[in-house]
Structure 1
Amino acid sequence: MGNSRYCIFVILMTQLPTALIQGLSLLSLNSAAPAIETFIIRSHQSRYGSLPSESNTMLYLTLAQSALVWGCVVGALSVSSVLRNLSPKNSMLFSHIVNIIAVIVSAPVAYFTASYESLIVGRFITGVARGLGFAVSMVIVADTSVRSRLGFFQSPFEACVAISAVLGAGLGHSEALGQPELWVWLLSLPGTTSILYIIAYRWIPETPIFLLRRENDLGAENLLRRLRAVDEDVAAECAILKQELIDESRRKSIPISSIFQAPDLRYQFLVTALTMNAMQLGGTQAILMYSNVMLLTAGVDSAYVTFVTMAINGQIIIAFPIFYLLEKRYGTKRVFVVGIVIASAGVLILTIANALQKTLPWMSYLAICGLVTMVFGLVVGPILTLQSLITELTTSSTRPTVVFYCNGIYWFIGAVTSTVFPYSFASFGAYAYVPYVVICFAYIPFGLFLIPETYRRTNRQIQLSIRTKSSLQLSEIFSISKRYKHSVSEGSDVGHVVE
């Protein structure tokens, strides 16, 4: 059983507008930073009759960047409340309405009133829409797609984010919309994607799980028939979903304290949190928001930094088909590990090359290679597997709670990084990369031994593996790692082998 064309349409119209908002708002100020800096200086001068100090200008510029991610923290923390009061479909609509408000505040209001405070506030509201839409889209796709193809249909979201980020970086160039008179149009672009969703809203259904929660079993079955590629009985799938809802009702409104009291749920939460935050802890937020500064420090000519940034982030065009082939052959968990290994080598090269750049000028080229390698590894691994692997590790009964807290942690780490990194990089230079080196290498054994195998496994088998691992000591988990290959070849679960 697979997804129908209608189901693919629903997934695309859920993911694409949200992904465009994620990407366009992320890299636009990276390239347009000089234009925004000019706007801040002019606004301060017209208001106070004097130029702002260099430290104040850097502070306002950093706040304009980091406010986006701090808003994501608020958006992520509001997901549970919004989904509880609205349906998933209407929750997505709400996030797009918030985004339109954000665009109005950050672009025309800020530009015509010469208010950098309005720019910062608007970027914060944009972040709220991003954090909310990011989680809601994950829930909708997970509850709509056939389970066996979740890995494939969740992954395009991150690909669309990366491609739209490249578009945002290019449009933010000083020869495009990254000019003091044109940046208002640059920040207005994410609003058009929300309008796209509003137009398609009437053709997007509620999710089958939402209908089952409303005890509309017949409506859920009829919807599943429209969402599946073959015209066959969907009663079995509907029965599975109903059983998951029964499990959910037993753990309804489960607090985080109860999760940490149950060994298997605690293990699921911790592994999910670490897996979901691999890209943030690996330095992705710093690269995406400050790559131009990093490249300038590495010796790249200022006329070309934006193009190099676009090329680095544009690797998604190459990485996605590679990921697809690897994911189809080996599963998301193993692709995650491969990506982490590549990223670890890249960040190590980047750190060494930056440290030696002043002594050996040719090291600037090696630094670029290191950054390219690092981003490629993060894209192939943690970024493209983000939603699919998280979905595989959780169930519909635990996903809302686990994703809620993990999503909050994800954006909080990103917000701290976006605020602190400019100052740490200015103070320590290449040594600011050292934490990312340590973290990336630490993720290799984590991915190999602590994440349960997901390839060709049902959710029940994955959860059995989680329960088995949660009852073992760390040394025992490492000792059974050699049994993965044998268990996978036989289609069994590691938990079965241990038991």
Structure 2
Amino acid sequence: MGNSRYCIFVLLITQLPTAFIQGLSLLSLNSAAPAIESFIIESHQSRYGSLPSESNTMLYLTLAQSALVWGCVVGALSVSSLLRKLSPKNSMVITHVVNITAVIVSAPVAYFAASYESLIVGRFMTGVARGLGFALSMVIVAETSVRSRLGFFQSPFQVCIAISAVLGAGLGHSEALGQPGLWVWLLSLPGISSIPYIIAYRWIPETPVFLLRRKDDSGAENLLKQLRTFDADVAAECAILKQELLDESRRESISIFSILQAPDLRYQFLVAALAMNAMQLGGTQAIAMYSNAMLLTAGVNSAYVTFVTMALNGQIIIAFPIFYLLEKRHGTKRVFVLGIVIASAGVLSFTIANALQVTAPWMSNLAIAGIVVMMFGMVVGPILTLHSLITELTTSSTRPTVVFFSNSMFWIIGAITSTVFPYSFASFGAYAYVPFVVICFAYIPFGIFFIPETHRRTNQQIQLSIRRKSSLHVSEVFAISKRFKHRESERSDLGDI
């Protein structure tokens, strides 16, 4: 059983436009930072008749960058409310309308009004569209694709984000659109990405799960016949989805409080949330948004720094075939762990070499190699398994809540990192990377021992494994607590003697 060509079209038209919004807006200001800084200075001077202070310029530039991710937080927090009122399909249309409006505010309005405030607000609105689209695309693909190929069909989203990020970084170069007078065209590009989805809207169906929730069983079964290959057992798949939704109704409401009260669901949520946030906690957001500045301090020539940034994100072109072969043979969990191991080695090398290059200039080469290895590991592991792993670990009943809170955590961590990192980097230099080193290494045992095996397992088998692991870890906690109390009792008895 597999996805039909029509299903693949639905998956791609859902993922590609949203992915290009994610990527183009992510790295454009990284390369075009000098042009944006000039715009801020000129706008301030024309309005107040004086140059802004260096600290204020840095603040406005940081806000222009980080507003994108803070908008993502708002978008992520709005997904649940939006899905309660609209279908996933119509929610995605709202996302693209917000994106087009955001581009108008951040590009032509900001440029012609000479308003860096409008630039910051527009970037925030673009972030709202990114936060909505990031979660909605995951939900739609999970509710549309055949379960056995979710790992593969969720991964193109991350590939397209990386490719579009490379495009954004390249176009933001000072010899391209990253110069005064042309940056407005650079920030307009994400708006073009929304047009294909709006054009294809009439040919995009609702998801089978959405139809089943509306009690349209026949409509869901007929839709599954269009979405699956001719040899698919549509009735059996429909029965599985209905059973999951029945479990949902029996649990009344799968709220975050309900999830946290049930040991197996709590374990499912924590593992899925931590797995989804591995790339953020490991420092990928900081590298993506401020790689040019980081690479300059690592010794990269300013004439080539943008090209190195493009190469860092372009590694996904090489990593994806490797990921595909490994995922098909070993599953998403093992690929996740492998990627974390590689990334940990890379970020450790980068941090040490960056700290030592002041006394040993040749270490700059090791620093550059370290950040390349770190990003390659993140791409192969946490980035390409980002959506697929959380989808495999959850069910139709728990997925909306788990995705909502995991996605919210994802963007909150990213927003804090993008706001704080420029200042911590300015204060501590290479030592600002130490938390990323510690977290990356901590994720290795987490991936090995806490994430259940998902390869060639049904959702029922995965959930059974989660129940066993949750019981095991709870038992271990009680056992440790019991041993601790016993030792305290023995010490008390010895004290009495």
Q: Under TM normalisation by the shorter chain, which class is it?
A: over 0.9
Counterpart in the other structure of 1:109: 109
1:293-347 CA-partner distances (Å, limit 9, x unpaired):
0000111111110000001110000000000000001000000000000000000
| Aligned residue number for residue 424 of structure 2 | 424
Cα separation, 2, equivalents of 1:44 and 1:164? 32
Q: Distance in 2 between matches of 1:230 and 1:186?
A: 45
Letter in 2 for 1:176: A
Please tell me the residue identity of whatever aligns with 1:361. Answer: P
Please give the alpha-carbon distance, in whole angstroms, between the structure 1 residues aligned to 2:434 and 2:252: 42
What is the match of residue 290 of structure 1? 290
Separation (CA, whole Å) in 1 of partners of 2:58 and 2:106: 18
Name 1:483's counterpart in structure 2: none
Deviations along 1:377-417, one digit per CA (max 9) or x if unpaired, are: 00000000000000000000000011111111110000000
Residues 242-251 or 394-403, more deviating: 242-251
Residue 255 of structure 1 deviates from its aligned partner by 2.8
Identify the residue that residue 141 of structure 1 maps to in structure 2. Answer: 141
Give the CA deviation at 1:230.
Answer: 1.6
| CA distance, structure 2, for counterparts of residue 448 and residue 118 of structure 1 | 46
Counterpart of 1:63 in structure 2 is 63
Shift of 1:227: 0.4
Matched-pair contact (CA < 8 Å) for 2:2–2:232 = no
Contact 1:315–1:376 (8 Å) recurs in 2 = yes
In structure 2, give the amino acid aligned to 1:64: A
* Residues in 2 aligned to 1:69 and 1:51: alpha-carbon distance in whole angstroms: 28
Q: Deviations over 1:3-33 (max 9, x none)?
A: 0000000000000000000000000000000
The C-alpha deviation readout for 1:121-150, integer Å capped at 9, x for no partner, is 000000000000110110000000000000
Residues 106 and 120 in structure 1, CA contact (< 8 A), matched pair in contact too: yes
Give distance in 2, aligned partners of 1:305 and 1:456. Answer: 43
- Correspondence for 1:341: 341
Supply the distance in 1 between the matched residues of 2:475 and 2:48 (Cα, whole angstroms).
Answer: 64
Name the CA distance, whole Å, in 1 between partners of 2:252 and 2:356: 56
How many angstroms apart in 1 are the aligned matches of 2:286 and 2:386? 18
What is the deviation of 1:254? Answer: 2.9
Pair 199,252 (structure 1): closer, same or farther in 2 beyond 3 Å:
farther
State the 1:473 CA deviation: 3.0
2:164 corresponds in structure 1 to 164
**Alpha-carbon contact 1:178-1:186 (below 8 Å) kept:** yes
CA distance in 2 between counterparts of 1:234 and 1:346 reads 46
Partner amino acid for 1:163?
I
Measured in 1, the distance between the counterparts of 2:167 and 2:273 equals: 30
1:459-470 equivalent positions in 2, closer than 5 A: 459-470=459-470
Alpha-carbon distance between aligned partners in 2 of 1:323 and 1:225, rounded to the nearest angstrom: 30
Distance 1:377 1:132, change over 3 A: same
Structure 2 SS opposite 1:303: coil
The answer (yes or no) to whether the contact 1:107–1:119 under 8 Å persists in 2 is yes
Residues 254-263 or 350-359, more deviating: 254-263
Give the match's secondary structure for 2:472.
coil
Map residues 10-49 of structure 1 onto 2, 5 A cutoff.
10-49=10-49
Q: Secondary structure at the match of 1:360?
A: coil
Q: How much has 1:35 moved relative to structure 2?
A: 0.3
- TM-score, structure 1 as length reference: 0.94
Whether 1:324 and 2:337 are equivalent positions in the alignment is no
CA contact (8 A) 1:225 1:231 kept: no
Report if the CA contact (8 A) 1:251-1:397 is conserved: no
Contact 1:296 1:305 in 2 (8 A): yes
**Alignment correspondent of 1:458:** 458
Contact 2:248 2:254 in 1 (8 A): no
**Distance in 2 of aligned mates of 1:87 and 1:339:** 35
- CA distance in 2 between counterparts of 1:257 and 1:84 reads 18
Distance 1:149 1:354 in 2: 41
The aligned residue for residue 369 of structure 2 is: 369
Change (3 A) 1:9 1:170: same
Task: Note if contact 1:280-1:413 (Cα within 8 Å) is conserved in structure 2.
Answer: yes
Match of 1:276 in 2: 276
Tell which structure's C-alpha radius of gyration is larger: 2
Distance (whole Å) between structure 2 residues aligned to residue 473 and residue 62 of structure 1: 42
| Structure-2 separation of matches of 1:35 and 1:473 | 53
Q: Measure the CA separation in 2 of the matches of 1:310 and 1:152.
A: 24
Distance 1:256 1:232, change over 3 A: closer
**Match of residue 211 from structure 1:** 211
Task: Note if contact 2:19-2:161 (Cα within 8 Å) is conserved in structure 1.
Answer: yes
Q: How far did 1:250 drift?
A: 2.3
Q: How does 1:218-233 map to 2 (within 5 A)?
A: 218-233=218-233
| Deviation, structure 1 residue 36 | 0.2
Letter in 1 for 2:461: Q
Gaps of 5+ in 2: 478-497
Aligned alpha-carbon RMSD (Å): 1.1
Pair 1:237-2:237 in alignment:
yes
Letter of the structure 2 residue corresponding to residue 236 of structure 1: A
Name the residue aligned to 1:50.
50
- Cα distance in structure 1, aligned partners of 2:105 and 2:59: 20
- Aligned residue for 1:78, secondary structure, equals helix
> What is the letter of the counterpart of residue 123 of structure 1?
R
Amino acid corresponding to residue 154 of structure 1 in structure 2: Q
Cα distance in 1 for residues equivalent to 2:9 and 2:67 = 33
Match of 1:472, SS state, is helix
Partner of 2:405: 405
CA distance in 2, matches of 1:39, 1:233: 59
Runs of 4+ in 1 over 2 A off after TM superposition: 250-255, 473-477
